[in-house]
Chain A
Amino acid sequence: MNVRVAVRIVAADKVRLALALSAAVMMATATVTFGSWSVSSAPGGGYSKAVTAQSLTFTDVSGSAAAQLYPGGTGDLVVRVTNPNPFAVTITAVSGNGTVTSDKGAACNASTGVTFASTTGLTQVVGAGASVTFTLTGKMSMSNASANACQGAVFTVPVTLTATS
């Protein structure tokens, strides 16, 4: 379903108008599902040009992650994202999304002891087409069970960002 269809429905009869209303409401309120959402961004005419909201892209920042973790300690998670959309978005939440891995291979990965604490309530703005590096302070922790091979390791922490426009 897209906006163009809705516009066309405007010229139809009432039955079609009712269907268009339902579709428009669905479009306006369905904000939790990621997808190729189309955005009407050409105001003024009877028809709108379609725009697709794209996912933010991640950039490896392992090189700039400072050493902070040790068994029993906590540290920060550094994330760098790029917003490919023509509109600014605000990152509001970051949650873990898989197994933490390291650059030390299996010996460390078997027991990194590293966990990420999901966080919400963020207000990290990423401008249209901009890149931002932000730090989630103290959200990483390492248990005493971390393998000896994990010393000096750089950990990759899979996460899912939730951003709103």
Chain B
Amino acid sequence: MRRKRNVLLGLALLALAGSGAAVAAWAIASSGGGSTRAFSVPQGSTPTRAITTWPNVAVSWAAVTVGGAAIDSYGIRRYAEAGALQTTLAGCSGAIAALTCSENSVPVGRWQYTTQPQKGTSWLGAESAKSSTVAIVAAPSSLACTSCTTFGATKYINAAGKAAVSVSVTLPATSIASDTVNLSLADTVPTAVGSTVAASAGAGTVTPAALDTTSLVDGNVTASAHLSANTGDLSPATTLALVRDTVVPTAANIKGNNGGVAGTVDGGDTVVYTFSEAPDPASIQAGWTGASAAVTANINNVGTADTVTVGNTNLGTVNTAANYVTTSRTCTTSTLVLAGSVLTLTLGTCGNGTSNVATSAFIWTPTSTMTDRAKNPMATTARTATTGVTANF
């Protein structure tokens, strides 16, 4: 019996140990390799560029992705148009996480930009194709109106010159032949006229075609010139302030005033000439600035139409329209003073002669030798005293 039990137990163990598929939990450790694959960073997109505030250049580009994930950053490079790599300046240097940057204070020249995407600390995409060229063009050095008249520091466009205003433009040393000089004249309306001319390489002076400013109004006019590159990029403008004055000056009034003995032409009496606008004193007397100047005044006995003239001036003649003197009188040490548009003749010491008490309205006939500050010749139309008949002396 014992032996039979042992056999049964052994068979049970056999079943337990031998029937692995049915009872035992086999563990099979197997070594090998699985596979996974990485993306590649795509090539950067070709950037666009624009000058925002000269000479800052805004560079923009389209995003690229890796497996749908955004790129961590982009590297921006600037090349000379001829190909040499430059140092990218503040604003676009380093890793740019955004899709635009503005490189500040870009030097004068012609540049192209590229982008290069980066993922992680090391993965770099291929550098993009170069952008179109952006030209940082220097402004013209100076302008000069060669057809303008001058009074003091002011340049005038007068009636005679308004149809052909010529302004020369001095180019910067960085100018190249493919640049274009753009000149404009604008009034305060603003109405503008303009012309262009090809630049020359290097520093030099060019003069665009003369401009007809007939369509502009009198007053302040700004001459403005800039260079434009063949890329469409513009330099800053260089300006020149002008004044357009095309109105012919006229005699506005004439009046005598007693400054000595009433009813007598004598020292201290004045004759006041009023112009429609401030005249150029040098056109009244050569070299005169308008400050008090010694002159000789003549009271000429011409019957009942005595006249007043001033030696060595272009004031013209004042017809007193009365008989103030029975003999001509010469008043030396007289003075002229110009204050704006009012010129005052003060009689000095008058020579022997006889005066009459008279009243009249003076009539002034100026000469066209006189001009306003813009060098517009004085109209010679006679002006009668607006105050009517008075004693005058």
Contacts and interface: CB of A to CB of B under 8 A. Distances in A.
Co-assembled chains A and B: yes
Interface of A: 3, 6-7, 9-11, 13-14, 17, 20-21, 23-25, 27-28, 31-34, 37, 39-41, 43, 48, 51, 53-58, 60-62, 64-73, 75-79, 81, 85, 87, 89, 94, 97, 111, 113-114, 116, 136, 140, 142-148, 150-165
Interface in B1-29: 2, 6-7, 9-11, 13-14, 16-21, 23-29
A interface SS class: mixed
A67 B37 contact: yes
Contacts of A53: 20, 26, 28
A67 B16 CA distance: 48
Contact of A31 (B25, B31, B33): B25
Given A85-B28, A111-B122, A140-B36, 19 more contacts: A7-B14, A20-B10, A33-B27, A34-B29, A39-B21, A58-B32, A62-B37, A68-B39, A69-B67, A75-B36, A151-B41, A152-B40, A156-B34, A161-B30, A162-B27, A163-B30, A164-B25, A165-B20, A165-B28
B28 A155 contact: no
A61 B35 contact: yes
A114 B35 CA distance: 11
Given A70-B66, A73-B69, A160 B29 contact: yes
Contact of A9 (B10, B38, B69, B119): B10
Contact of B6 (A3, A17, A69): A17
6 closest Cβ contacts across the A-B interface?
A: A71-B120, A40-B18, A58-B32, A10-B10, A165-B26, A24-B17
B22 to A, nearest CB: 9
Given A17-B6, A28-B17, A77 B35 contact: yes
A89 B162 CA distance: 103
B interface SS class: mixed
B123 interface: yes
Contact of A156 (B13, B20, B31, B35): B35
B12 to A, nearest CB: 9
Nearest to A40: B18
Interface in B56-72: 66-67, 69, 72
Contact of B31 (A17, A28, A68, A158): A158
A94 B121 CA distance: 30
B119 A72 contact: yes
A118 B149 CA distance: 91
B13 A20 contact: yes
Given A9-B10, A40-B18, A40-B19, A157 B28 contact: no
Contacts of B36: 65, 68-69, 75-78, 114, 140, 154-155, 157
B351 to A, nearest CB: 106
Contacts of A152: 37-40
Nearest to A157: B34
B227 interface: no
A161 B29 contact: yes
Contacts of A78: 34-36
26 contacts: A10-B6, A13-B6, A27-B17, A28-B16, A60-B33, A61-B34, A66-B37, A68-B37, A69-B36, A72-B120, A77-B34, A78-B34, A78-B35, A78-B36, A85-B28, A114-B38, A142-B120, A145-B120, A155-B37, A155-B38, A161-B30, A163-B29, A163-B30, A164-B26, A164-B27, A165-B25
B18 A48 contact: yes
Contacts of B10: 6-7, 9-11, 17, 20
B325 to A, nearest CB: 108
A55 B122 CA distance: 40
A55 B29 contact: yes
A43 B19 contact: yes
Contacts of B33: 58, 60, 156-159
Contacts of B29: 34, 55, 160-163
With most chain B CB atoms within 10 A of its CB, the pick from A28, A43, A65 is: A28
A56 B28 contact: yes
B124 interface: yes
A54 B238 CA distance: 89
Nearest to A9: B10
B121 to A, nearest CB: 5
A77 B32 CA distance: 13
A69 B39 CA distance: 6
B9 A17 contact: yes
A28 B221 CA distance: 108
Contacts of B32: 56-58, 79, 81, 158-159, 161
A22 to B, nearest CB: 10
A154 B36 CA distance: 6
Given A10-B10, A10-B11, A97 B31 contact: yes
A116 B109 CA distance: 52
Contacts of B23: 28
